[in-house]
Amino acid sequence: MSSVRTRVAAALALVAPLVIGSLLTPGCSSDDAPPAGGGDAGAVNAEPLFRAVENELVGRCGGTNGVCHVNGTFQGAPRWLAGPDPYLTARRYRGILPATRDIGDSILLTQVDHVGPSLKRYPELFQRVSDWLVAEVPPPVLPNTGAFPVTSGFNRQDLQPVAPDLAGGAISFIATENNNILTLSAIKLTAPPTANVKVQAPFFVILPRSGKVNADPDVNGFKGELTVPAGTTATFFLGRMVLLRWDPAGQLKLVFEKIETTPGQGRSRDCTALDSFKTNAIPAMRTQIQYNNGDAGTASGSCAGCHTESGDEIARNAMDLTTLDTDPAAACAQARNFINFADKARSPLVLTPMGDVGGGAANHPVQTLKPTDPTIMGLQAWINDEKEQ
């Protein structure tokens, strides 16, 4: 979607300086939901920008005699240009004015060629529609994590992209994919060591590899507020979310209606058994083990080989051991995040290489290890020595 973002940036540059107000937030395919939402006009009068493109939109997207997105008589096409006033219909149609307040997420700009053409085939029209959307949904965008990949099993996403003072905080969950349905379970929010975090009405956004962004807080979000004290971990609202129409090649982002931090002081996340980490865990992490190397068959590697700077980006994002040589204490603190202090034998750090899906092993390439394997025994020895603070 790089071309979409480039054109969106141009629209922001053109319209944003005029914007001094805000708008409450609430494309062409037959699987969209009916109109929903809407909002009040912002300080910039957006209606003239729509009226300037209305006829061309009706011509390009409405189809012959309006059979597509005006009347909806062709294959049940969504009627986002219908009614006595297409402007009001379009504004209220879910996904046109994106709930993220990022016009790059609008279904009008991210729709691909279908029965009808994508707006990207008409660059001038695309730009003018972008200008209208910016006027309707002025900056800033809602705070968000940015796009991140999802792997089957355990996932951990740092919150620093949301705001600098959230560095060290994270969202974690276990992901399961089945028939384009993504189930997130055990969703947890960890607050940074020195900041209490309060979040309001968060929602997940599905960013497919190609096609319309799915940003629907009513379906893929949580209501209410959650406060997590500094340095602690809490279940994220219901702790579970089922996302339909998931593209396994796509990405997610987490958006917050509001997120605030206040100064706090949580318990230290530093390791209590650093010597044991050096003696037991580091050698275990360097032990060569077999892993599945796709079409190339079986190869050998190590935890340190995958989870460091020279390894796999997804693995490193999950658990970063880059400082294993230069700063073992920092690497130890990273690995410590994967200890289950309530039941150390059920820690994701050992369950994952042992093939336990609950530990996050569904998409882990390492061939299943036994509890008596030197890697597992070394990790478990250090885990047993660590104390909860």
Structural domain contains residue 255:
yes
From 76, 109, 136, the end of a domain falls on 136
Query: How far from the centroid of its chain's Cα atoms is residue 106's Cα?
Result: 16
Structural domain contains residue 304:
yes
Q: How far apart are CA 336 and CA 359, in angstroms?
A: 14
Same domain, 132 and 158: no
Structural domain contains residue 93:
yes
The shares of helix, strand and coil residues in the chain, as percent rounded to the nearest 5, are 35, 20, 50
Same domain, 305 and 361: yes
From 101, 136, 171, the end of a domain falls on 136
Q: Which domain holds residue 314?
A: 274-385
pLDDT of amino acid 194: 92
Same domain, 12 and 127: yes
Q: Which of 358, 339, 341 is nearest to 349 (CA)?
A: 339
Same domain, 173 and 215: yes
Q: Which of 104, 265, 125 is nearest to 192 (CA)?
A: 265
Structural domain contains residue 36:
yes
Same domain, 7 and 131: yes
- Residue pointed to by tokens 């910016």: 134
Structural domain contains residue 145:
no
Same domain, 12 and 98: yes
Number of domains in the chain: 3
Same domain, 339 and 229: no
Same domain, 347 and 236: no
Structural domain contains residue 234:
yes
**Which residues of the chain carry a pLDDT beneath 50?**
1-3, 6-8, 10-42
Cβ(222)–Cβ(207) below 8 Å: no
pLDDT of amino acid 309: 78
Q: How far apart are CA 320 and CA 161, in angstroms?
A: 17
pLDDT of amino acid 25: 28
pLDDT of amino acid 39: 43
Q: How far apart are CA 300 and CA 277, in angstroms?
A: 23
pLDDT of amino acid 32: 42
Cβ(188)–Cβ(173) below 8 Å: yes
pLDDT of amino acid 298: 67
Same domain, 37 and 89: yes
Same domain, 58 and 179: no
Same domain, 6 and 125: yes
Q: How far apart are CA 175 and CA 222, in angstroms?
A: 18
Sort residue 380 into left (φ over 0), alpha (ψ -120 to 50) or beta: alpha
Q: DSSP labels for 176-213?
A: EEETTEEEEEEEEEE--TTEEEEEEEEEEEEE-SSS--
Structural domain contains residue 144:
no
Same domain, 9 and 123: yes
From 136, 169, 194, the end of a domain falls on 136
Query: How far from the centroid of its chain's Cα atoms is residue 28's Cα?
Result: 24
pLDDT of amino acid 30: 35
Structural domain contains residue 130:
yes
